[in-house]
Amino acid sequence: MTMEKTLILSSGKCSWGKCYACGWGKLEAPVDTDRLKARVESTSLLGVTKLKVFASGSFLDDKQFPRAFRQWFAGYIGQSRVKELVIESRPEYITQESLSDFKGIRLTVAIGLECADDKVLRAYHKGFTVAQWLKAVKLLRKNKIGVRTYVMVNIPFGNAKALNKTVALAIRESNSVVLINTFPHAKASLFDFWIVGRWKPLDKGQFEAMVSRWAKNKKIEVDYQNYAFVPKIPKERQEFIRGVGLSCLDHSHYNVWQDYFVRFYEKPIDKDIALFLPCSFRKPYAGSRTHVEIYEAIKEAKVFPRLHRIVLSSPGVIPFEFSDYYPFNSYDWPEWLETDKVKRDYIRFVKARVKEYLKTHKYKRYLCYFKYSAETYIALKEACRELKIPLKNLLDEKVYNQIKDEKNPLIQESALINIKKNLNRMS
């Protein structure tokens, strides 16, 4: 039986670092042979028969992994019970000399071909051609070394025809082929493509539909998502989004996140009651007086652990666990600047985003705590009505009418008693 293990070794930096979707290639670590050896020696290989080394770059690049370390590593693995070693490299480092250090080891070299089309590779900034990949593959075969090829599904600048051509060639030339869904790393240029709406990652259903025709091929492996992906917008592109109107509502950073919440996000499984809440001036919301008071009023309710708090605001739908992420902690919508048109646009955007969210994410119950006059409440109510979802406002209209002229009615004592009572009635 094969027992597989992955060893992540960070050393130096990918010599290329320019691939369009890759952020790992921009990371840099010290090149320290002693540290690398200690990392390897402290990794238990008990029972491991197949070891994969991931290095964000090229294991065969002397600048990233000094040859003396590789030779030591090959000896170390040779003396272990590991039967197969898989390493990664760009084609230019696959030479007779670099391969000679692994004599006696069953070796596989994985190469990120991504797409077998030179035009796409050029636009993608891959930095090598299909012919260069083929030359490396030929050398590996001559040395009886396994070839593993990574192919990117939904690569920017590519298309279905290029994918078909790539997979056919990769199957022909490789021992194994991994079809990888393309996601943009935070520091990658592809992220900008998504932000400006020129490219979108595939969700699970779309990806599976695209790769299903190869699913039965024994050489093929599919990889829908190989890291915990969230659209973390890099610091240098972040801004404070202040103002009212369409330019704020339709902000590209909000759009990318709303796309994520609808197509990729999975709500916590234990939270089966949605509780929609208003935003607050203070960010993150959890530190605001409004949210502290609401939390104090609801935290003892029997159903509290099942409540999924979701804030509705100008960015759209914000599951509470994301409230400290940019842009949800970096915006302000000054209500006093709102005109009638701005209010209408706000209702339209929030309603559309709530609808999209609720079409994907189902709850057993749908609750909210809003002022009856709030545009957000109007948007939520309309979205639920159109989706035929029963919505309950935990602030009774009668109570609201008594306090509506107070400053911040939602944290008036009678309102908080009201939400507490209404929640306590639920089982």
Give Cα separations from 188 to 26, 232, 355 (angstroms). Answer: 9, 11, 31
Give the CA angle between residues 315, 356, 201 to the nearest 5°: 80
200 closest CA partner among 21, 10, 50: 21
Whether the ω angle into residue 284 lies within 30 degrees of 0, i.e. cis, is yes
Beta bridge partners of 242: 332
Position 20 contacts ligand SF4 (CB under 6 A): no
C-alpha to C-alpha distance for 77 and 40, rounded to whole angstroms:
10
> Among all residues, whose Cβ is closest to ligand SF4?
25
Residue whose CB is less far from ligand SF4, 18 or 365: 18
Position 22 contacts ligand SF4 (CB under 6 A): yes
Given a contact cutoff of 8 angstroms between Cβ atoms, the answer to whether 151 and 178 are in contact is yes
Contacts with ligand SF4, 93-112, as mask; x by CB under 6 A: -------------------x
Residue whose CB is less far from ligand SF4, 23 or 319: 23
Residue whose CB is less far from ligand SF4, 14 or 279: 14
Position 17 contacts ligand SF4 (CB under 6 A): yes
Position 24 contacts ligand SF4 (CB under 6 A): yes
Residue whose CB is less far from ligand SF4, 7 or 303: 7
Give Cα separations from 176 to 104, 142, 146, 374, 408 (angstroms). Answer: 21, 17, 8, 57, 62
User: Considering the complex, what minimum distance in angstroms separates the CB of residue 17 from ligand SF4?
Assistant: 5
Given a contact cutoff of 8 angstroms between Cβ atoms, the answer to whether 12 and 57 are in contact is yes
User: Considering the complex, what minimum distance in angstroms separates the CB of residue 128 from ligand SF4?
Assistant: 9
User: Considering the complex, what minimum distance in angstroms separates the CB of residue 188 from ligand SF4?
Assistant: 9
Given a contact cutoff of 8 angstroms between Cβ atoms, the answer to whether 54 and 88 are in contact is yes
- Window 52 to 71, contacts with ligand SF4 (CB under 6 A): 56-57
Mark the segment that binds ligand SF4 (CB under 6 A) among 11-19, 45-53, 295-303, 334-342.
Answer: 11-19
Position 379 contacts ligand SF4 (CB under 6 A): no
| Binding region for ligand SF4 (CB under 6 A) | 14, 16-19, 22, 24-25, 56-57, 90, 112
